[in-house]
Amino acid sequence: MNQLMRFSRLHGDSKVAPFVAILVVLTLLASMGNLLMPEDSAFYVSTYTITLLGKYLCYAMLALAVDVIWGYCGILSLGHGAFFALGGYAMGMYLMRQIGDRGVYGNPELPDFMVFLNWTELPWFWQGMDQFWFAMLMVLLVPGILAFIFGWLAFRSRVTGVYLSIMTQALTYALLLAFFRNEMGFGGNNGLTDFKDILGFDLQADTTRVTLFAITALLLAVILVISHKILQSRMGKVIVAIRDGESRARFIGYRTERFKVWLFVYSALIAGIAGALYVPQVGIINPGEFSPLNSIEMVIWVAVGGRGTLIGAIVGALLVNFAKTKFTAIMPDGWLFALGALFVFVTLYLPQGLMGLYKKMMDKRRPDNSDSHGSDTEGKNAEPAVKGGNV
């Protein structure tokens, strides 16, 4: 019996189902609180809160993407902001085209910033973005293909550890600089904004806001379940095996770089979807999203929640962002210091994040399971850095 317990624990004693249930119920309650309750009721949820929650959920999805690749495969990507922003830009382009002649300059074809730059026709990469299905395809394809090319080049050359992290960072920084340029045709440093409607629904309307929020929650749940299933499969075990001993995995016959590339692509797709959901809710996408700082923040969300646990990543993203909202309201300049302090604290005292803490507390409550379970993942993050020596 004890063995069976251990077995189920090792195999990700699934807290996913209850978590999804909680997520769905909370989403329903919040939505109803906004749409059905009168504004003076105690249960009324303001549209501002709904949008804020939707934004948090996008971040949670992004954290999930980082966790899949970092927590399970040990690849520390400091450039996931790039995939997020690319997904966001694809969505932004669609929303931009939806404005039509309601822009300041009233040009039915060109977005405002192009008219402002004296452009006379739409650049080729803006073609087709007025079709929703095409834009959604781009949301997936652009980050996916970028991740595939980057991953294929990096993993095939066996770049690991800090070197890979630096390269991902450079990737997002390069994109940041590129998107700042007006000539790129993405609105320069103002980015894309002033969106009016999506699929014909007014973006400012409460119902649209709530629907977007609900879709985000639903997709988060779906992606969580899919990721869980993938990581439970034998492929998931190979991925964990690659994290713990890449050369061992290679010597028992796995082409580890292929597994890494596909996982990287999967992760980038999630990030792209998160970005696409983020933009209509926030109402703007600008090159700031590419900034390396954002990508590092994502890693902190995951570290706080507990890497290697999907739910941990989500919880971490929600909590840190909630704290950010509160903190920046009180002391706007102090947030980065607080974030840094948080990261140091988590690394030193909570190497497994909040989920690790939770597990430890649960283990303490059950006195028969006092073995050294779970204390071994601490060194894992240091490992790729050591191995990075033989690039």
Which among 57-65, 212-220, 299-307, 365-373 is the span making contact with other proteins, rule CB under 8 A? 365-373
Q: Report 187-246 residues binding other proteins (CB under 8 A).
A: 230, 233-235, 237-238, 240-241, 243-245
CB of 73 to other proteins, least distance (A): 12
The number of residues that bind other proteins (CB under 8 A) is 36
CB of 19 to other proteins, least distance (A): 21
CB of 255 to other proteins, least distance (A): 5
Q: Can you tell me which of 101, 333, 376, 389 binds other proteins, judged by CB under 8 A? A: 376
Question: Would you say 97 and 197 are in contact if contact means Cβ atoms under 8 Å apart?
Answer: no
Q: Report 11-70 residues binding other proteins (CB under 8 A).
A: 11
Question: Would you say 160 and 63 are in contact if contact means Cβ atoms under 8 Å apart?
Answer: no
Q: What 3 state SS string does 80-93 have?
A: HHHHHHHHHHHHHH
CA–CA distance, 149 with 268 (Å, rounded to integer) = 12
User: Three-state DSSP class for 225?
Assistant: helix
Which among 114-122, 164-172, 291-299, 376-384 is the span making contact with other proteins, rule CB under 8 A? 376-384
CB of 243 to other proteins, least distance (A): 7
For the chain, the maximum distance between any two Cα atoms, rounded to a whole number of angstroms, is: 74
CA–CA distance, 139 with 277 (Å, rounded to integer) = 10
Tokens of 21: 């249930």
User: By C-beta, is 153 or 226 nearer to other proteins?
Assistant: 226
User: By C-beta, is 39 or 371 nearer to other proteins?
Assistant: 371
CB of 27 to other proteins, least distance (A): 29
Helix H or strand E segment including 328: helix 310-330
Burial pattern 88-113, b for ≥16 Cβ within 10 A else e, equals bbbbbbbbbbbbeeebeeebeebbbb
What is the phi/psi pair of residue 205, to 5°?
-70, 145
The strand pairing partners of 198, in sequence order, are 201
CB of 235 to other proteins, least distance (A): 4
Q: Can you tell me which of 102, 181, 258, 364 binds other proteins, judged by CB under 8 A? A: 258
Residue with tokens 């507990």: 306
User: By C-beta, is 243 or 359 nearer to other proteins?
Assistant: 243
Beta carbons within 10 angstroms of residue 344's beta carbon: 10
User: By C-beta, is 19 or 259 nearer to other proteins?
Assistant: 259
Which among 24-32, 82-90, 121-129, 251-259 is the span making contact with other proteins, rule CB under 8 A? 251-259
Question: Would you say 347 and 297 are in contact if contact means Cβ atoms under 8 Å apart?
Answer: no
Tokens of 187: 């609105």
The answer to whether 156 contacts other proteins (rule: CB under 8 A) is no
- The amino acid occupying position 251 is F
User: By C-beta, is 181 or 373 nearer to other proteins?
Assistant: 373
Strands (E), 25-89: none
Q: Can you tell me which of 7, 105, 337, 345 binds other proteins, judged by CB under 8 A? A: 7
For other proteins, the binding residues (CB under 8 A) are 3-4, 6-7, 10-11, 230, 233-235, 237-238, 240-241, 243-245, 247-256, 258-259, 262, 371-373, 376-377, 380
